[in-house]
Amino acid sequence: MAAQDGDSYEEHLTAPAGWWAIALLAGLMAGLVFLRASALAAVVAAIAAAIGGAALVVAYGRVGVRVRDGYLEAGTARLPLTALGAATALDADAARRLRTTEADARAFMLLRGYVRTAVRVEVVDPADPTPYLYLSTRRPQALAEVLTAR
* Residue-averaged pLDDT of the chain: 93
How would residue 96 be classed by pLDDT, with cut points 50, 70 and 90?
very high
Average pLDDT estimate for 32-50: 97
State the pTM of this model: 0.83
Cα gap 106→143, rounded to integer Å: 22
pLDDT digits (tens, 9 = 90+) for 98-137: 999 999 999 999 999 999 999 999 999 999 999 999 999 9
Length of the chain: 150
Residue 5's H or E segment, with its range, is strand 2-5
The per-residue pLDDT for 6 is 57
Alpha carbon of residue 144 to chain centroid: 16
What is the pLDDT at residue 3? Answer: 56
Distance CA 134, CA 87 (A): 10
150 has pLDDT over 90? no
Report the alpha-carbon distance of residue 20 to residue 39 in Å, rounded.
24
Contact between 65 and 11 under an 8 Å Cβ cutoff? The reply is: yes
DSSP secondary structure string for all residues of 52-116: HHHHHHHHHHT-EEEEETTEEEETTEEEEGGGEEEEEEE-HHHHHHHHTTT--TTSEEE--TT--
Element (H or E) spanning 132, and its range?
Answer: strand 132-136
Per DSSP bridges, beta strands 84-90 and 118-123 are antiparallel
